[in-house]
Structure 1
Amino acid sequence: MEIKGEFINLKSVEISDAEFILNLRQNKELNRFISSTSVNLEDQKKWIENYFKRELEKKEFYFVVQNKENESCGTVRIYNIDSEKKECTWGSFILNKNRPDGASYETIKLSLNYAFKALGIEKVLLDVYKENKKAIYIYEKSGFKKYSEDDISYYYQKIKEEK
């Protein structure tokens, strides 16, 4: 699947993306605010293979963000999909230096549009480390509202807008 935007495209993750994802997640500049992962390429490939099962069950969707030159520049994920509650978690959002201007906002817009329209989601949740000021700013500008916090994180939600 591919979702086209003005500045970026989202494409469904493939096994061949494992090395890119691993490099992205191991990048010291980018991984300060994300959960750690195995540094083993085979583990990343197995994780993606297991992800495919969750995708088939419509429990999760994982995208690679690409610039218009088809260079991979990030990831975003919709997961913990609960069709009864019509809610999901949004995250695994990382962009590297190959991203074009506007990529952050467009990645959020395209992925949320997919969640709301294609998946019938009505509420999207995310959590962000309190130290991650840049992400907090982007999420709030994108319409996420803080509903809770703990010592480490803020918790945000975005409700589907009625049209």
Structure 2
Amino acid sequence: MFNGVLVGKNINLRLVEVSDAKFIYDMRQDSKSKYLSVVNSGVESQVKWIQEYKKREFKGNEYYFVIESKEKESLGLVRLYDFRDDSFCWGSWIIKDGAPSSYAIESVLSVYDFAFYQLGFTKSHFDVRKNNDKVIAFHKRFGAIIIGEDNENYYFNFTLQEYNETRKKYIKFVAYNG
């Protein structure tokens, strides 16, 4: 049973709350967010967005997480959305400067564990802006396959089977190794 928190080895992912609006807004203003959709409308607008999101979360149509340290310091964000039959999309992934690089890997493992093992998806689809070289390289190393592109984005797929193989390589980052 999902209680709203994904427990990791060194981090947790907890569902976003309205009280996170300022943190989310600030993260979305950071230069690292240049590859995410633009958010210019202020904290109050973010509050309204979260209130609408919580309705989608309640229906099980979307999950938006704050990535936080075991000491509950907010370090980043990641979202699962666009659920299609056996496939899910994930993105809006951003981690604060200065956070250990292992937190990126651990947050991705938490996302895939949750989506594949708890929600029952068998595929993931997502897009990455073409000039976001570090994230493109990360996904390729992780085993995701580019299946298409347009002027702005590369489109990736990643299957449960591929994840099961990749997870073995990153097992030291996983809280539960079962």
Of 12, 16, 19 in structure 2, the residue corresponding to residue 13 of structure 1 is 16
Aligned to 1:142: 142
Shift of 1:39: 3.1
> 5+ unaligned residues in a row in structure 2: which ranges?
165-178
Give 3-state SS (helix, strand or coil) of 2:34's partner.
coil
Q: Which moved more, 1:133-142 or 1:17-26?
A: 133-142
Deviates further, 95-104 or 108-117: 95-104
Q: Distance in 2 between matches of 1:151 and 1:115?
A: 29
Distance in structure 1 (CA, Å) of the matches to 2:144 and 2:105 = 12
Aligned to 2:176: none
| Residue 98 of structure 1: how far off its partner (Å) | 4.3
Select which of 1, 5, 25 maps to 1:2.
5
Contact persistence 1:22–1:39 (CA under 8 A): no
1:18–1:44 CA contact under 8 A, matched in 2: yes
SS in 2 for 1:32: helix
TM-score (norm 2): 0.85
RMSD over equivalenced CA pairs, Å: 1.4
TM-score using structure 1 length: 0.93
Alpha-carbon distance in structure 1 between the residues aligned to 2:37 and 2:46: 14
The DSSP-based 3-state class of the residue aligned with 1:111 is helix
Q: Using the aligned pairs only, state the percent identity.
A: 36
Structure 1 spans left out of the alignment, 5+ residues: none
In the alignment, does 2:54 pair up with 1:52? Answer: yes
* 1:70 counterpart residue number: 72
Q: CA deviation at 1:103?
A: 1.0
Describe the SS at the equivalent of 2:76: strand
Deviations 1:109-134 (A, max 9, x none): 10111001111111111100110010
Question: For this pair of structures, how many residues does the alignment match?
Answer: 160
How many angstroms apart in 1 are the aligned matches of 2:134 and 2:70?
24
Which position in structure 2 is the counterpart of 1:34? Answer: 36
| Structure-2 residue corresponding to 1:22 | 25
